[in-house]
Structure 1
Amino acid sequence: MEKRETIRLDKWLWYARFFKTRGLAAKVVTGGHVRVNSAKVAKAATSVGPGDVLTFPQARDIRVVKISVCGTRRGPAPEAQGLYEDLSPPVSQAEKQASEDYVPPAPKYEGKGRPTKKDRRTGLLSRPDMLD
């Protein structure tokens, strides 16, 4: 029986340029956020090889990729894209635009540091429920 070529999961994620550092890739794996062939893994040293399907979060997206080649180094982006086949469902243009347009709500106190007593008092008095 021929031995299958394998590589550490965190190393492969780093080689394929899904994460900027190998340590960050290892942190995602040990956090239990990666699935290999639909089974959760929690060890960065898990062996993966060609044919394995990985599911993991990257930024705000969920990535689903099939490993094509193990790789030998962390090369340029075109070389890294040859290591996998992207199986992620395509994101519609409307969903993409909606996620880009999202602006988090501004904090109520916009100064720097701790608010003064006057800032707190004016903030409390400006609330509609406090005017009754």
Structure 2
Amino acid sequence: MERQRVDRWLWHARVVRTRSDAAALVAKGHVRINGTRQKSPGHGVKIGDVLTVALDARVRILKVIGFAERRGDAASVHVLCADLQSPEE
């Protein structure tokens, strides 16, 4: 797989609880891919893309490092993304 829909990837990476929440987050303009705001949940992401996601309480910066066919458990998230933020002190 070379690309995956951004809403599906966000759901698989457990950034949000449901795929419809992911689609709404993108549609409201709270997701940037490589610095460009996206409003289409169907926009494709590829390995190496950097996503900036504005959530209610914080902003997450994630690098796409893989894809999944199905949503896995929380332990499997590390194969999908790398968190580019330094841990808060």
Confirm or deny a common fold (TM above 0.5).
yes
Q: If the TM-score is normalised by the length of the shorter chain, which range does it land in?
A: over 0.9
CA distance in 2, matches of 1:89, 1:40: 23
Please point out which of 68, 73, 79 is paired with 2:70: 73
Q: How does 1:2-21 map to 2 (within 5 A)?
A: 5-21=2-18
Give the deviation of 1:58 after TM superposition.
Answer: 2.6
Shift >2 Å, 4+ stretches: none
Report the RMSD for the aligned CA atoms in angstroms.
1.2
- With the length of structure 2 as denominator, give the TM-score of the two structures: 0.93
Task: Decide which structure has the larger Cα Rg and report it.
Answer: 1
Unmatched runs of 5 consecutive residues or more in structure 2 = none
What is the identity percentage for the equivalent residue pairs of Structure 1 and Structure 2? 38
Q: What amino acid sits opposite 2:10 in the alignment?
A: L
Provide the aligned length of Structure 1 versus Structure 2.
89
Unmatched runs of 5 consecutive residues or more in structure 1 = 93-132
Q: What are the Cα deviations for residues 37-96 of structure 1, in whole angstroms up to 9, with x where unaligned?
A: 00010000000011000001233110000000021110011112320000023322xxxx
- With the length of structure 1 as denominator, give the TM-score of the two structures: 0.64
Higher strand share: 2
